[in-house]
């Protein structure tokens, strides 16, 4: 329930999730710092202190607290304010990576700063849970020509019925309007508009620095901040300038050298996985470095002749424009 909800919530909620999460990480800096240092620092201005903090946690004897990029294993029970259970507790923990967008906003924020064995209950308003109800931004118009329905199926379309979506989760969308040329579906989650109470138990926790390189979330290392307001969502088209290097410093590709930004749809597999993970965490105008392990780049095969097998890559990327899908 919690996992599926994150995928069903509209773009505006996903944008807020990313912004809220990055803001929350800075707010709990004393617990797990992955935020931008003060501009008064003379070394690496505007660069995240992530690498320094990650090394500090590796050698610390203190129990680590949850931060961005960490893997968590949690048991959850979800209730409505009247005590009705909508998501019963399963004693088999669910595995998530904090920051990858696979959880609702409020759950990700609640996990920040928790320690293994901690248990807490949080009350989440709709905007931090499954989204607000009757949000016009969650409505999508679909031309009838794109439905590929048989005549008999066309006759069955009616307001209030549900249309199956072509996605990996088998989600359904409610039909709210029908005309001669198109239908309008509401993409809101079934629990949109509901305040929920979540009881969370952190059964286990693997900090990002203790994960294998192939498992680590690619987190942008900020060079120049963006607007911190406008974030991409899965399926959006991004225009970016970039320079790609091997770890020996050799440049293998550069849109800046060509003078033309590169455009691609984020989160749908059009680029290497490390780009999909890192770019969706950047705001418009932001410039950052992405350190991408080979497993999230070109892997064992490489990209001959410029990228050898098993090559880790470093990208200097700038998010110029976001075109919503």
Active site residue 59: no
Would the CATH topology of 2-130+192-210 be identical to that of 221-323? yes
As a whole-number percent, the residues of the chain with pLDDT over 70 amount to: 79
Active site residue 242: yes
pLDDT, one tens digit per residue, over 29-55 is: 222 222 222 222 222 222 333 444 444
Taking 70 as the threshold, does the pLDDT of residue 182 lie above it? yes
pLDDT at 43: 25
What are the b/e assignments for 40-62, b being 16+ CB within 10 Å? Answer: eeeeeebbbbbeebbeebeeeee
Catalytic residue (choose from 100, 118, 253, 312): 253
Q: What is the mean pLDDT of residues 211-219?
A: 89
Q: Class of 136-186 per CATH? A: mainly beta
Active site residue 292: no
Catalytic residue (choose from 252, 312, 314, 320): 252
Catalytic residue (choose from 298, 307, 316, 322): 298
Active site residue 2: no
Active site residue 252: yes
Catalytic residue (choose from 206, 272, 292, 307): 272
First to last CA, the chain: 25
Closest to 194 (Cα-Cα) out of 257, 104, 114? 104
Active site residue 231: no
Q: Class of 221-323 per CATH? A: alpha beta
Q: How confident is the model at residue 194 (pLDDT cuts 50, 70, 90)?
A: very high
* Domain ranges across the chain: 2-130+192-210, 136-186, 221-323
Cα angle 226-54-29, degrees, rounded to a multiple of 5: 60
pLDDT at 177: 92
pTM for the whole structure: 0.68
Domain over 2-130+192-210 is classified CATH 3.40.50.10320:
no
């Amino acid at each position: 329930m919690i996992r599926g909800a994150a995928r069903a919530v509209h773009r505006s909620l996903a944008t807020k999730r990313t912004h809220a999460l990055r803001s929350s990480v800075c707010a709990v800096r004393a617990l797990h710092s992955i935020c931008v240092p003060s501009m008064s620092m003379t070394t690496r201005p505007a660069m995240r202190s992530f690498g320094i903090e990650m090394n500090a946690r590796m050698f610390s004897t203190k129990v680590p607290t949850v931060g961005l990029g960490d893997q968590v294993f949690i048991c959850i029970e979800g209730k409505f304010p009247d005590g009705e259970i909508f998501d019963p507790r399963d004693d088999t923990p669910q595995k998530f990576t904090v920051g990858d967008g696979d959880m609702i906003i409020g759950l990700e924020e609640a996990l920040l700063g928790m320690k293994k064995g901690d248990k807490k209950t949080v009350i989440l308003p709709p905007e931090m849970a499954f989204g607000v109800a009757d949000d016009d931004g969650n409505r999508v118009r679909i031309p009838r020509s794109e439905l590929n329905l048989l005549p008999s199926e066309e006759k069955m379309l009616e307001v209030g019925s549900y249309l199956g979506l072509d996605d990996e989760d088998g989600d359904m969308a409610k039909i709210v309007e029908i005309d001669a040329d198109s239908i309008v579906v509401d993409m809101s989650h079934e629990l949109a508009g509901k305040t929920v109470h979540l009881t969370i138990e952190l059964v286990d926790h693997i900090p990002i620095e203790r994960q294998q390189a192939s498992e680590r979330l690619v987190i942008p290392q900020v060079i120049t901040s963006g607007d911190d307001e406008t974030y991409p969502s899965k399926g959006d088209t991004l225009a970016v300038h970039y320079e790609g290097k091997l770890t020996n410093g050799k440049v293998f590709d550069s849109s800046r050298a060509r003078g033309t930004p590169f455009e691609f749809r984020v989160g749908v597999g059009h680029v290497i996985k490390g780009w999909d993970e890192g770019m969706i965490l950047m705001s418009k105008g932001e410039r950052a470095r992405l350190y991408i392990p080979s497993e999230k780049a070109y892997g064992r095969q490489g990209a001959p002749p410029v990228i050898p097998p098993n090559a880790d890559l470093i990208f200097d990327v700038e998010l110029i424009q976001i075109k919503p899908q």
